[in-house]
Chain A
Amino acid sequence: MDILNIENITKNYAAHTALDDVSIVIPEQSVFGLLGPNGAGKTSLIRIINQITAPDKGRVLFNGKPLEPKHTELIGYMPEERGLYKKMEVGEQALYLAQLKGLSRRDANIKLKYWFEKFELQSWWKKKVEELSKGMQQKIQFIVTVIHEPKLLIMDEPFSGFDPINALLVRDEMLELKAKGATIILSTHRMESVETLCTHIALINKSKKILDGSVKDIRKMYKSNIYEVAYEGTNIGFANALWTGFELHNTKEEDGIMKARVKLLNGNTANDLLSALIPHVKLHSFVEVVPGMEDIFIMKVNETNQ
């Protein structure tokens, strides 16, 4: 089941096109990475999903039905540009924002109590936001985003501005929400969080979608068939061991250990390479060189920019 079907969305502003015929499917309970360089159109797309702006063409289906105002209560959104009323009391403000998401005052109170305890913020309830440290404000920001237990959580650069401890806290909470059934859209250009969190991604560049799918499939697609072999022995001995089914890319020496990159050709497998090498050199390690999401990202973006 897909929670969100984005179908042929086009959005024009006076001077430029923010989104050009973008279609994306977001499966339920996935962590969906929305990737792309600055100004690619990610925020425009997120605003359309949040019904802050409307697309010029195309439509968005939420659980198979066209987006409606009532859907905002099923979505939690933490924008990249975020903040709170500085002069307002923390508790009063959290209650207000929770009620705007459709919770009754009573429910909001109960739920906030739970979260404030979890994040150890109880004693700050009556304080003004401006008296809080940045880290605490970030915790509040996260709480008000998830207080109404959204089915879809949209986080725009959620870790920017968070200190490492809070970033970890937020990450863990996000995964817990996912385990409970929520779907998370993660818009970011921090690739390490994509590697560890995302199950699916879509890559947007210059207002067009250029790549999407599950992380597993994409990795497979960009598999390079290159292995890194660390060994003891001579260069010549190593090179002699290889036959036409393999291609030696480069070798370097580190602390008396040689490292070589070898590409498999003609349908040869890793086992074939190993059996070719074993009689000639003393092996230390043997690893497949997997392209990181960052490599794929840079490669695809450069490809489309040309």
Chain B
Amino acid sequence: MGKIGLIIQREFMTRVKKKSFIIMTILGPLLMGSIFVVPILLSNTQEKVVKIEVIDETGVYGKKFPNDSMLQFTVTSRSIAEAKKKFKDEDFNGILLIKEHTGTNLPVLTLLHGQTQPSIKVMTTIQNTITNKLEEFAGCDPKMLADIKGKLDIHTQNIGGEKTDTGITTLVGYFAGILIYFFVFLYGAQVMNGVIEEKTNRIVEVIISSVKPFQLMMGKILGISLVGLLQFLLWVVLTFGIYFVAGTITGKAKVEKYRSDKVMTQQTTGAQNQGGADIQQQVMDSSDDISAAIESLPIKLIIFCFAFYFLGGYLLYAALFAAIGSAIDSEADKQQFMLPVTIPLILSMVVSSAIVMNPNGPVAVWFSMIPFTSPVCMMIRIPFGGVPAWQIALSMALLIGGFLGATALAAKIYRTGILMYGKKVSYSEIAKWLRY
């Protein structure tokens, strides 16, 4: 094993053995799981029935919408203007407008909503219903089925007609972006603290008499990236574990609740318009709805890009964090020098809402090209689809270039910085180091 391998191994093992790693590994999925589970729990315990008015101009899909005790679809035949006018009085939560689209087999779906935005459950129920009907049409024509899959889009607007976005695409985009953002911060800071530790412990001079400073820096960056990847993989595995366990439990609870409801309904009215088994299945599927929605995304591209930007973003920032760690001598100086590195990272989160509003607009394109912001910004764009291949390729090439440039720069600062003790550094001082 080469010396850099030894360094990677040490950085990896000492961190993985730490209690904080184990705690984070367990807490992470609980937090992430709760992001998925809490909405399901909330939607299940919600007392209020959600009522959606369906205006089906095609006349094909309307009858297919399933009703349960929590979500009711009412098909009406009035005009959209009329429906809007009466929206407030009639206690509907939303109006779904289904229009024929000329040229494709897919209908155009518009969901108007009041103050509260429609839940994921509403969105996925609509999507699944329409998709099922379309699949029925398509029969077993694989070309038509392929056309349907992942192409169905629900446009959401508030009742005033302004576009809103509550779709799973936004959620996935934000989620991927935030994950990269946190990963870069969390593990970038670990690289920086590792460098500060070596410098303040004074072990660094012992080590660089055996290996080159560059090897030490890269070994640290790569070792910590492996810790991050392992933690991330464990999170994914555990999150899915928790998510399915929790999904099953809440599903069962809902079924129990439904059964007791049903007995009561049968006793009072004697009317039963839906098959119990049907509902049970539907409830059990409530967690699967999200999975189904996720399937409609360009999933392979998302996973590939996520892995790339996840690592690329980390490597770029980790090199800079290592340079900061080498330059400063005390914790007190940390904030001052971290600022220029963290600003672009924070900026990418700031512009994220603008990107979601217009995923292919100039803001989105520019910020997904600049290496410092592209990991977060490009990941928000990708789930929306329609990002030209050349843009992805260029953005990736720029990120690789940015990473190489940042590493070369950081290495120069690092090799001088780690040997500077008890000296107050300034930016002009660091600029001098670059010329040594």
What residues of chain A have their CB less than 8 Å away from a CB belonging to chain B? Answer: 13-14, 47, 50-52, 69, 72-73, 75, 77-79, 81-88, 96-97, 99-101, 144-145
Contacts and interface: CB of A to CB of B under 8 A. Distances in A.
B436 interface: yes
A122 B421 CA distance: 34
Contact of B208 (A13, A52, A99): A52
* Max chain A Cβ within 10 angstroms of own Cβ: one of B210, B212, B213: B210
Contacts of A88: 14
A83 B209 contact: no
A11 B211 CA distance: 21
* 3 A-B pairs closest in CB distance: A83-B202, A100-B210, A83-B201
Interface string B327-368: 000000000000000000000000000000000000000000
Contact of A96 (B10, B421, B436): B10
B205 interface: yes
* Max chain B Cβ within 10 angstroms of own Cβ: one of A47, A79, A87, A145: A79
* Max chain B Cβ within 10 angstroms of own Cβ: one of A51, A52, A100: A100
Given A14-B432, A88-B14, A99 B6 contact: yes
B421 A81 contact: yes
Given A14-B432, A50-B209, A85-B14, 20 more contacts: A47-B419, A52-B213, A52-B419, A75-B209, A79-B202, A81-B205, A81-B421, A82-B203, A82-B205, A83-B201, A83-B202, A83-B203, A85-B203, A86-B201, A87-B14, A97-B207, A99-B6, A100-B207, A100-B210, A145-B206
B435 A14 contact: yes
A77 B201 contact: no
B201 to A, nearest CB: 4
Contacts of B3: 100
5 contacts: A14-B435, A81-B421, A85-B198, A86-B201, A145-B206
Contacts of A78: 206
B201 A85 contact: yes
Nearest to A129: B201
A84 B6 contact: no
A84 B201 contact: yes
Chain B contact residues: helix, strand, loop or mixed: helix
A101 B206 contact: no
B97 to A, nearest CB: 62
A100 B211 contact: yes
Given A88-B14, A96-B10, A82 B212 contact: no
Contact of B209 (A72, A85, A86): A72
Contact of B206 (A73, A79, A86): A79
A174 to B, nearest CB: 17
A217 to B, nearest CB: 31
B207 A52 contact: no
Contact of A77 (B14, B206, B211): B206
Nearest to B433: A14
A185 B256 CA distance: 82
Given A14-B435, A99-B6, A100-B6, A77 B202 contact: no
A96 B6 contact: yes
Interface string B202-225: 110111111111000000000000
A184 B170 CA distance: 67
Contact of A79 (B198, B209, B211, B212): B209
A260 B328 CA distance: 59
A150 B23 CA distance: 43
A66 B361 CA distance: 59
B205 A79 contact: yes
Interface string B97-135: 000000000000000000000000000000000000000
B436 A14 contact: yes
A97 B432 CA distance: 32
A77 B209 contact: yes
A73 B3 CA distance: 12
Contacts of B7: 100
Contacts of B211: 72, 100
Contacts of B436: 13-14
Contacts of A87: 14
Nearest to B203: A83
Contacts of A82: 202-203, 205-206
B435 A144 contact: no
Nearest to B432: A14
Contacts of A145: 206
Contacts of A73: 210
A81 B209 contact: no
B205 A72 contact: no
Nearest to A87: B14
A50 B212 CA distance: 10
A84 to B, nearest CB: 6
Nearest to A83: B202
Nearest to A77: B209
A72 B216 CA distance: 15
A75 B208 CA distance: 12
* Max chain B Cβ within 10 angstroms of own Cβ: one of A81, A87, A88: A81
